[in-house]
Structure 1
């Protein structure tokens, strides 16, 4: 999934002492250091037979201030192919640029506007995870990490700062990563849907985020990740949900509300492409990871507000950034899917986006959606 060209996420206040905290939440460049303590001494409890707990409710007060503003922040078939001018031959649809890959047609734009929105999403996801870059209970600092679908590489760069002795590799089909990066961070052009070129058992951690609508065979993706992981290594996949919701009866019980119509048409577009946008729902990731051979599979779901309507200070800030992400991203989400896949006229797309934008900016209906994170471990040799 493409991320923004800016290699740093906006800052959000005091940093966490957790070793997986990104550099963007620390005091400055000199504060990044190798963590001395492992994040957990024990692996996660196996969940093969246990359904995940429902996402926690978002606190709110009926008379909470209706402020939806955002806090201020600082302003290809061959894997690892070398960059060439042809790689920058982007498609242009009504002023938005899209990757012109020979092997994968990706639905999201790769221009600055879309990438800036995804930069914001990296920031609020990090906050959502407790100021951490991942949740997998890795026993010791990783030595070699793969970030699949790195976009502009913001997660990989933050990970490189947090673990300067580890080698961090980010892959993507768009060459939009910065050139000024930490010395332990490298980016490869690679289509994750093709056969991976990395030798078996190369990595001790594989990270995936927001590849919904991008993968035609998720089971194969996880099987390739399983093969590329060292025994005892971890995989983590954090995916978004295209369905916005509200607990307000007039929205929840209206089958024609924009939230439901948006979800329905995008679900159909994903099915037409053969690349589901629903990978984060229904326990799909958890089940496919188990089928690929992973153990200690844990699924965690998060309700994320759109806007500042929550009474909880942290969720209020997360909601503000999430709303900014959605505001920046809605047209990019819709333009290719609705115009190119569903055959809508450009003006129809713009009216649909405008209706959705109005709804997500309405704090009275308390909009939110659910994000899902799944992490799992490749068994050690002795466990086979």
Structure 2
């Protein structure tokens, strides 16, 4: 990774003006195994999957960033989603879940952020929706479905499967493909689906809204069909630089110190791969694979796709992860909290600060 240069180089960021068949049964557990799908060597997804050091862009040209369009097409054949829960909390200009216990989920549920996070993970996995080697699924459960974009994409790729997406908020499309349905429910309560039902249980980006993660994974195991798979995918808030370019006196360093204190006050612990793997083992899954991708924050990488991915990640992160935590956990004024978030975001325009954030994937199989 390139060393910091004497002068500050600014990259283009949007301006923020505000202050095979299932393996044979066995008890083995594997860690840091490459995903089952093959990604091109040297591609953005290939670099992330290999764990190779991300090369920094140390050229004089900032390199214009042109993000590509993203989204998903909803098939014309449709069915309706039924829900009466459409009352939200609006706080600090962001929208949060109200369903169930007020304020239990700390991240905003605005659709643009959720869909952008989906796009980021698609890029990180080379266009794949998951790491688990799922084959010919018939019943699939998407926990924490958000806008439903993962469920819709999976249903489009697997028309033979029935995909159920569940979330605290009914922000999914009103009309969806006939093999996709959405439910509003609290996953911390007893699950009402039949046991041993799902060929694949997909759980993504809900760890910081779950107080008993072990119970969540236990329920996933109970409702996974023998021979089926479950996958956990979680963003971690352990933002850091591997080369020491993020120091305490940078805006990002200050943001991390304050936000971490806020989460501690709220009693929220962000996930680690070891914790997620342990939960899978205790639940009874076998053939467990754990993989961590270190995704760049900001457009500092030399690789063009990683540069794009990093710019997207910067757009989603700082207010979403920090604003409610600071105002709720530390009683901070909204204006002050927003300034801390925006200063950290703008700090990423300095290509000499090489920040990454881990995304943990852990998947396992239920014995037949």
Find the aligned partners of 2:203 and 2:188 in 1 and give their Cα distance: 13
Q: Is the 8 A contact 1:323 1:361 kept in 2?
A: no
Q: Is the 8 A contact 2:266 2:325 kept in 1?
A: no
Which 4+ stretches in 1 moved above 4 angstroms? 44-51
How many Å separate the matches in 1 of 2:223 and 2:216?
11
d(CA) in 1 for partners of 2:302 and 2:264?
Answer: 38
The change in CA–CA distance for 1:68 and 1:350 in structure 2 (over 3 A counts) is: farther
Alignment of 1:133-212 (within 5 A): 133-138=129-134, 140-212=135-207
Matched position secondary structure for 2:360: strand
C-alpha contact 1:103 1:191 (8 A) present in aligned 2: no
**Corresponding residue for residue 15 of structure 1:** none
Q: Is the 8 A contact 2:273 2:360 kept in 1?
A: no
Partner SS state of residue 365, structure 1: coil
Alignment partner of 1:128 is 2:124: yes
Q: How far has the Cα of 1:260 moved from its partner?
A: 4.0
For 1:151 and 1:109, the matched residues in 2 are separated by 10
Distance in 2, matches of 1:243 and 1:262, equals 12
CA distance in 1, matches of 2:346, 2:191: 42
| Contact 1:293 1:378 (8 Å CA) reproduced | yes
In structure 2, C-alpha distance between the alignment counterparts of 1:222 and 1:306, rounded to whole Å: 29
The match for 2:223 is 228
Mapped contact 2:148–2:172 kept (Cα < 8 A)? yes
2:315 aligns with: 324
Partner in structure 2 of residue 10 of structure 1:
none
One of 317, 335, 346 as aligned partner of 1:347 = 335
Match of 2:266 among 252, 263, 273: 273
Equivalences for residues 212-251 of structure 1 within 5 A: 212-251=207-246
Moved more, 230-239 or 62-71: 62-71
TM-score by length of 1: 0.77
Partner of 1:93: 91
1:250 and 1:185, CA in 2 relative to 1: closer, same or farther beyond 3 A? closer
Which position in structure 1 is the counterpart of 2:109?
Answer: 110
* Distance change in 2, residues 1:316/1:228 (3 Å): same
Q: 1:307 aligned to 2:287?
A: no
**Contact residue 201 and residue 231 of structure 2 kept, 8 A:** yes
Q: CA 1:228–1:65 in 2, change beyond 3 Å: closer, same or farther?
A: farther
Residues 348 and 157 of structure 1: is their aligned pair in 2 closer, same or farther, counting only changes over 3 Å?
same
User: Kindly tell me: are residues 249 and 266 of structure 1, through their superposed partners in 2, closer, same or farther at Cα, counting changes over 3 Å?
Assistant: closer
CA contact (8 A) 1:97 1:109 kept: yes
Instruction: Give yes or no for contact 1:99–1:173 (8 Å, CA) kept in 2.
Output: yes
Instruction: Check whether the contact 1:67–1:309 (CA below 8 A) recurs between aligned residues.
Output: no
Given the alignment of the two structures, is residue 336 of structure 1 paired with residue 329 of structure 2, yes or no? no
Measure, in 2, the Cα distance between the counterparts of 1:195 and 1:269. 30
Unaligned runs of 5+ in 1: 1-39, 76-80
Deviation of 1:171 after TM superposition, in Å, equals 0.2
CA distance in 2 between counterparts of 1:72 and 1:339 reads 34
* Distance in 2 (alpha carbons) for counterparts of 1:357 and 1:258: 8
Residue deviations 1:62-102, cap 9 Å, x none? 22742363424268xxxxx9522xx2222222332222223
Aligned in 2, Cα 1:350/1:151: closer, same or farther, shift over 3 Å? same
Q: 1:369 aligns with which of 336, 357, 366?
A: 357
State the distance in 1 between where 2:60 and 2:275 align. Answer: 36
Distance of 2:316 and 2:92 partners within structure 1: 21
Q: Counterpart of 2:176 in 1: which secondary structure?
A: coil
Judge conservation of contact 2:22–2:227 (CA < 8 Å) in 1.
no
Structure 2-normalised TM-score? Answer: 0.80
Find the aligned partners of 1:64 and 1:246 in 2 and give their Cα distance.
21
Mind listing any 5+ residue stretches in structure 2 that lack a counterpart? 1-19, 34-49, 72-80
Aligned equivalent of 2:41: none
Cα distance change on mapping 1:46 and 1:323 into 2, 3 Å: farther
Quote how far apart the aligned CAs of 1:173 are.
Answer: 0.8
